[in-house]
A = this chain, B = another copy of it.
Amino acid sequence: MTDTIKVTKVAESKISDVDFSKLSFGTVFTDHMFVCEYENGAWKKPEIVPYGPISMDPSAKVFHYGQAVFEGMKAYKDDNGKIFMFRPEENFNRINKSSERLAMPAFEKDYFFDGLNTLLNLESDWIKPGNDNSLYLRPFVIATENGVSASPSSKYKFIIICAPAQAYYSGEVKVLFADQYSRSADGGVGFAKAAGNYAAQFYPTELAKKRGYQQVVWTDANTHEYLEEAGTMNVFFRVGDKLLTAPTSDRILDGITRKSLIELAKSEGIDVEVRPVKVSEIVEAAENGTLKEMFGAGTAAVISPICGFTHKDKEFDLPKLEDAYGARLKQHLTSLQANRAEDPFGWRYEVPSMTV
């Protein structure tokens, strides 16, 4: 491995300063990071170096034109100390899809996997066993060419940073259905994990927070009649015993949690329908009592149950269920991810153990 990647280790780990029982999501990073530079049309030899600041010219294109994409993935450890990732090939394919839409170069598959595997071996102590613990992995690519002419950069940095994470209990989540602001346009970049998509959501989400909602559920920009996705999650609705979720499109991120839950739910015998979900049918289902659950699905929180929603000033509460699909699927999925349940799908990826 180490002949493709140059590794420079820290003199001393900072792990003893970290209280793993009090982690706030995405704020503490491990000792090392993976860095690979793109120049003259090619990715250069990657390196793993001590985590630390990078030097950027103030004219770097990422600052001015937002050429930046990212991924979010997790590594888990089982009780035997083996490390696993969940469907990492999906993240690899998706970051390249995102990059393509932003006129950025595709990354190399070998570098992606060798980089992650080496980094995870190096940071193994940062991954605690148990379904609730994980190491959040953040690969991202930024445009580093200097100059403010509005055209694609010729230089990039591909970086992976890692943050230890605990289960993410978001508490009672109430959401607002968007009826004015929107997240993405047809023919736009909503399907890409493009940095700019997130900044665009912050202001309407802050407005919603002031009104007591933790998240906005985005609707289609043209009509606001279809429910699409939440800030950093896809959304599922349970009406009666049926699970509904919107199909992906060029406006909606093709979430790996979403697509895994669809298969997992089906394998459990749940009736899943992937089709456009109308605001009006969910409002109606809430009114007639058939709306039983609503939840967000994404890597960070896995499943985030939603306890109520508001549409055009009308508030609806969801029932508290004993046998919620959300809770059951989350338990199933996280057990599978952490090698505590069977994996008939072949989703788990075991990180090869190596001496770094």
Q: List the interface of chain A (C-beta within 8 A of B).
A: 24-27, 29, 33, 51-59, 62-68, 70, 100-103, 136, 138, 140, 142-143, 146-152, 159, 161, 163, 178, 180-189, 194-200, 202-203, 205-206, 221-222, 231-232
Q: Do A188 and B163 touch (CB < 8 A)? A: no
Hey, which chain B residues are within 8 Å of A59, CB to CB? 26, 29, 138, 161, 163
Q: Which residues of B contact A194 (CB under 8 A)?
A: 66, 196, 199-200
B196 close to A147 (CB less than 8 A): no
Instruction: Indicate whether A151 sits within 8 Å of B54 (C-beta atoms), given known contacts A63-B195, A178-B187, A181-B187.
Output: no
Contacts of A62 in B (CB 8 A): 62-63, 68, 195
Query: For residue A182, which residue of chain B has the nearest CB?
Result: B187
Least Cβ–Cβ distance between A168 and chain B, in angstroms: 10
- Docked pose: A113 CA to B287 CA in angstroms: 56
Are B103 and A199 interface neighbours, CB within 8 A? Answer: yes
Determine the distance from Cα of A25 to Cα of B64 in the docked complex, in whole angstroms: 14
Cβ 8 A contact of A199, one of B54, B67, B140, B200 = B67
**7 A-B pairs closest in CB distance:** A196-B196, A66-B195, A185-B185, A103-B202, A66-B196, A185-B221, A26-B148
Q: Would you call A180 and B187 a contact (CB within 8 A)?
A: yes
Instruction: Provide the bound-state CA to CA distance between A109 and B232, in Å.
Output: 35
Residues of B within 8 A of A57 (CB): 53-54
- A260 to B187 Cα, complex, angstroms: 31
Q: How far is the CA of A26 from the CA of B63 in the complex (A)?
A: 14
Residue of B nearest to A192 (CB): B200
A214 to chain B, nearest CB (A): 11
Q: Which residue of B lies closest to A189 (CB)?
A: B200
Closest-CB distance, A198 to chain B (whole angstroms): 4
Q: List 10 A-B contacts (CB under 8 A).
A: A51-B58, A66-B197, A143-B199, A150-B198, A180-B187, A181-B188, A182-B186, A186-B222, A194-B196, A195-B196
Closest to A207 in B: B103
- Whether A198 contacts B66 by the Cβ 8 Å rule is yes
CB-defined contacts of A29 to chain B, threshold 8 Å: 58-59
Judge whether B65 and A202 touch: CB under 8 Å: yes
B188 touches A64 (CB 8 A): no
